[in-house]
A and B are shown apart, each in its own frame.
Chain A
Amino acid sequence: MAELILTRNFHRPDSHALRLYQETGGYEGLQRVLALPPVTIIETVKKSNLRGLGGAGFPTGVKWGFIPKGHPGPVYLVINADEGEPGTFKDRYLLERDPHALIEGMIVSAYAIGSHLAFVYIRGEYVQPWRRFARAVEEAYAAGFLGRNILGSGFDLDVVVHRGAGAYICGEETGLISSLEGKKGWPKLKPPFPAIRGAFDAPTIVNNVETICHVPHIVQRGAEWFAALGTATQGGTRMYSVSGHIRQPGVYELPVSVTLRALIYEHAGGLPDGRRLKAVVPGGSSAPILRADEIEVAMDVDGLKNAGTMAGSAGVIVMDETVSIPEALMVVARFYAHESCGQCTPCRESTGWIFKMAQRIVEGKGRKEDLDTILDVARRGAGTTICAFYDGAVGPYISYIEKFRDEFEALIPK
């Protein structure tokens, strides 16, 4: 069993308390880190091959490097804790069970990018995670880890905890920024990118909770150590949320190179009651589906990309033979139709249309041209919108039909 980094204290009932966090080494190296030149931290994170764990898998250190050098105004760090990708619940565990890990990660990351005000945007439905995290922020202020002149380093950092209102799109980084600014959670046009002009028009780095939790470990134990945990292009471990028809659903922290087969059968106990695997969604609902014969694949960003799907948020949804794929598509399509922000025409109009078609097919009222219409509409709309939401919806639309077309056709009256 590989070493647990982010989840090492999860088994302790009081893992969220500052006392326990400090007893297990938390905040210990902070003083030393805050004496390093910020650019050293950025370089270390670059070399570690840490990639964003919220969904897009963008190299974290590279993103940090986009902040304009010597920017005269404020720079913001925003933590994306709006975990909404169906099948994903890892950030919830971190907020509930190890909130100080996120705070320490924020201190180091904010220091690296020159930010003195950080926002944590927590999904509205996450009440307990918010309570735990907000309490931890209070503890950190009281202990001198936040606020002015942290540990005598001369570095100041304030943290604002902001609760979302339940829209999936607010997990998209620029949608999140709009929402944080008090506007409707509409993704913003790029360029400009947030690192140039983000929240409140200031350079802004938006990072996922889990990503940031890795940072103190990387800085203290070295880029090489972290990189060696993973593959050539992605370092470290990550937390897999495993759900669906699985014997032991839950969060598993494993090296990114673990295979999907090993995750399902060795770590999560396989399928219950001797049922047969039918399909797996490996990276949250937006990731194209894999058939049972396609699970011999490494779970890192590039491994899954090469398999025609994506690592996304590492939300692994296991489906056994009892699952109707057309019904699954209908459910997923309903989700995307409901959550499309409505800003860009292709996404706004076609998510609703595709749901209507999928629903008709499930209800036995499909037309034989429906499947090709869905595929064509999805392909034509892909890549035409402001944000990646629609491309995320296209993942299931196309893969469910392409890989399980017989099942759909069986439902369509001859």
Chain B
Amino acid sequence: MPKLTIDGKEIEAPAGTNLIEAARRLGIEIPHYCYHPGLSIAGQCRLCMVEIGNNPRPQIACNIQVAEGMVVRTETAKVLATRQSIMEFHLINHPLDCPVCDQAGECWLQIYYMKHGLYEPRMMDEKVHKPKAVPLGPHVILDAERCILCSRCVRFCDEITGTGELGIFQRGDHSEIGLFPGRELSNPYSANVIDICPVGALTDRDFRFAVRVWYLETAKSICPGCSRGCNIEVHYNLRRPHHNQGRRVARLKPRYNREVNRWWICDAGRYGYKFVDDPSRLLLPARRADTQADEVVWEEIIPLVAARLSAYRPEEIGVLASPQMANEDLFLLRRLVDHLGIPNVDFRVPSRASGDEDRILIKADKNPNTRGAELIGLGPRPGGLDARGVLRAARERRIKCLWVLHHDLLLSAWPEEETREALRALDCLIFQGSNANGVSPSAHYVLPSATWVEREGTFANFEGRVQRFWKAVEPVGAALPDWEIIGRIGEALGMGPLPATAEAIFKALAAEVIAFRGLSYRELRDAGKPVASS
């Protein structure tokens, strides 16, 4: 590996590494706009200039690769003066509308201006005017005056999605980003251009004007939208609860994971969190007799549910676990099912709509933890019924008690009338989930779950990568994490005390389930770890 010196510090970096990345490893930030590690090198913004060796002309760090013996200086008077000039050029035609710009607070023009600004504006002439507030597609809106023409969005659509909707039109200071005629920015990854836009040119139609970004807090998480398990950040607002109509989760952003999603997420995942702060959330446990539903407290409903589960013969009970649930939930559920000896357990309920899939990120399986459910073993026990068999048996009144976790069975691929008939025929229907759905209104017991942003846990993606997600906000109402609900029922059934934390459950899981052996909850860290290869 070439060894070079950056600002007097020696570093070895693999051949092919550019100077921005090499400096980053040393904790040296070389300011830049157009460079993005996931895209080709454009070299247009000219901000990343550094001095190399004795070359009198500063060079752009993005397009220079490390070489043996190279001496790079990133903070010389010449470099700083160049940065200041380039910043001035970037700003002369940029509107001074930060107070009303949604990017304010996370704008790289602001950030670099603070450090490298000229502070004495010399441009007194009329700025160039360009189109403003132009919707480019369902999610993205353009302010061409704020655009610094770094071309990241254009390169994203050319190189990552291959859809090529965007181009730079006109010339000189009249250049502007725009759509090719007849196109709209509607590819399944379109909103990534908002993330990579370093300024306020491309903003999010869903998020803009909802919350100022400095009120947001961040939690690391995993997208539950499909089995890819893209790493994300949950941006939530608790400091200004009156903003954004009281919705706490303000937006999801991709979080880099080289092995999973790199810098990107799909639009379906990005905007798929709305159920979290939706009026359909189940807030309190409830029991229903005839048509009357009574909201009750957990202390009251847990013994009741435990009693019902003990009241039937194991063959008369069906349990439909969900691949939406975390490994910790599924593990406790499996223990409970084994404790009671229930043979009719399944987690696979085919959905009516067939899932789309592509070669970038999107997987057809819209569940985050199908692999976890498989590995932990939530399928039918020997002689037990699968999900469809359970419903059939319910219609025939051979299954008398059904515990449905999360699934909306009415949206399954099976005939809706048959499902309704099965649910009607049940003696006892327990529904556990975060939001009301087609099943919950007919449940005798409703157990409200926390959503994934209201708790922590792990999912195993389609490749068997076990990844942690962290808690962002408190559960609404009395909702509890699934593992806690299951654990409390287990406690009531005499299975021993409720585990204290998700981590404690994971430890037990890793000890008991072969595929998870050797994994430690903490050591999964941000990027996750693969299960043992089968």
Contact = CB atoms under 8 A, between A and B. Distances in A.
Nearest to B40: A189
A93 B46 CA distance: 39
A207 interface: no
Interface stretch (B163-171, B303-311, B449-457, B491-499): B163-171
A353 B41 contact: no
Interface in B62-120: 63, 81-82, 85-86, 88-90, 92-93
B90 A345 contact: yes
Interface in B171-215: 171-175
A275 B507 CA distance: 97
Interface string B467-478: 000000000000
A169 B149 CA distance: 18
Interface stretch (A98-106, A144-152, A378-386): A378-386
A50 interface: no
Given A338-B172, A367-B124, A384-B49, A350 B167 contact: no
A259 interface: no
A348 B175 CA distance: 8
A160 to B, nearest CB: 25
Contacts of A345: 44-47, 86, 89-90, 148-149
Interface in A357-401: 357, 360, 367, 369, 373, 377, 380-381, 383-386
Interface string A183-224: 010000101000000000000000000000000000000000
Contact of B173 (A184, A351, A381, A384): A351
Going nearest first, the 4 A-B pairs with the smallest beta carbon separation are A342-B175, A352-B173, A380-B85, A340-B172
B244 to A, nearest CB: 35
Contact of B171 (A339, A344, A373): A339
B160 interface: no
Measured as residues with beta carbon below 8 angstroms from the partner, the interface class of chain A is 20 to 34
11 contacts: A167-B171, A340-B172, A344-B44, A345-B47, A345-B86, A345-B149, A348-B172, A349-B92, A353-B125, A360-B125, A377-B122
B41 A189 contact: yes
B92 A338 contact: no
Contacts of B81: 380
Contacts of A169: 171
B172 A346 contact: no
For the residues of A in contact with B, the DSSP-based class is helix
Most buried by A among B44, B45, B58, B81: B44
B339 interface: no
Nearest to B91: A349
A345 B45 CA distance: 5
Contacts of B175: 342, 348
B240 interface: no
A16 B157 CA distance: 48
A337 B174 CA distance: 9
A351 B86 CA distance: 13
A377 B90 CA distance: 13
Contacts of B523: none
B125 A184 contact: no
A167 B175 CA distance: 14
Interface string A312-349: 00000000000000000000000001111111111011
A356 interface: yes
B86 A341 contact: no
B172 A342 contact: yes
| Interface-centre pick from A340, A344, A350, A373 (highest chain B CB count, 10 A) | A344
Nearest to A359: B125
Interface of A: 167, 169, 184, 189, 191, 337-346, 348-353, 356-357, 360, 367, 369, 373, 377, 380-381, 383-386
Contacts of B47: 345
Contact of A337 (B49, B63, B173): B173
B89 A346 contact: yes
B126 A356 contact: yes
Interface string B295-322: 0000000000000000000000000000
Given A342-B170, A367-B124, 12 more contacts: A169-B171, A337-B172, A340-B171, A341-B171, A341-B172, A345-B46, A345-B47, A348-B149, A349-B92, A349-B93, A357-B125, A384-B86
A189 B126 CA distance: 32
A345 B128 CA distance: 14
Given A344-B46, A345-B44, A353-B125, A384 B171 contact: no
Interface string B136-176: 00000000000011000000000000000001101111110
B174 A384 contact: no
Contacts of A343: 44, 149
Contact of A383 (B57, B173, B174): B57
B43 interface: yes
Nearest to B175: A342
Which residue, B44, B89, B122, B172, has most C-beta atoms of chain A within 10 A? B172
Contacts of A346: 46, 85-86, 89
A356 B86 CA distance: 19
Contacts of A351: 172-173
A338 B86 contact: no
Contacts of B123: 353
Nearest to A383: B57
Contacts of B125: 353, 356-357, 360
B152 to A, nearest CB: 14
A30 B122 CA distance: 61
A386 B63 CA distance: 11
Contacts of B43: 189, 344, 386
Contacts of B167: 184
A342 B41 CA distance: 17
A340 B81 CA distance: 23
A344 B81 CA distance: 17
Contacts of A377: 122
Contacts of A349: 89-90, 92-93, 173
Nearest to B60: A189
A338 B85 contact: no
B171 A381 contact: no
A346 B57 CA distance: 15
Contacts of A344: 43-46
Nearest to B84: A380
B93 to A, nearest CB: 6
B41 A381 contact: no
Nearest to A336: B172
Contact of B63 (A189, A352, A353, A357): A189
Interface in B436-491: none
A357 B126 CA distance: 10
A167 B172 CA distance: 11
A369 B122 CA distance: 9
Nearest to B90: A345
B58 A384 contact: yes
A345 B148 CA distance: 8
A338 B174 CA distance: 9
Contacts of A340: 171-173
A341 B45 CA distance: 13
B128 A352 contact: yes
Contacts of B63: 189, 191
A350 B89 contact: yes
Contacts of A342: 149, 168, 170-175
B41 A384 contact: no
Contacts of B85: 346, 380-381, 384
Nearest to B123: A353
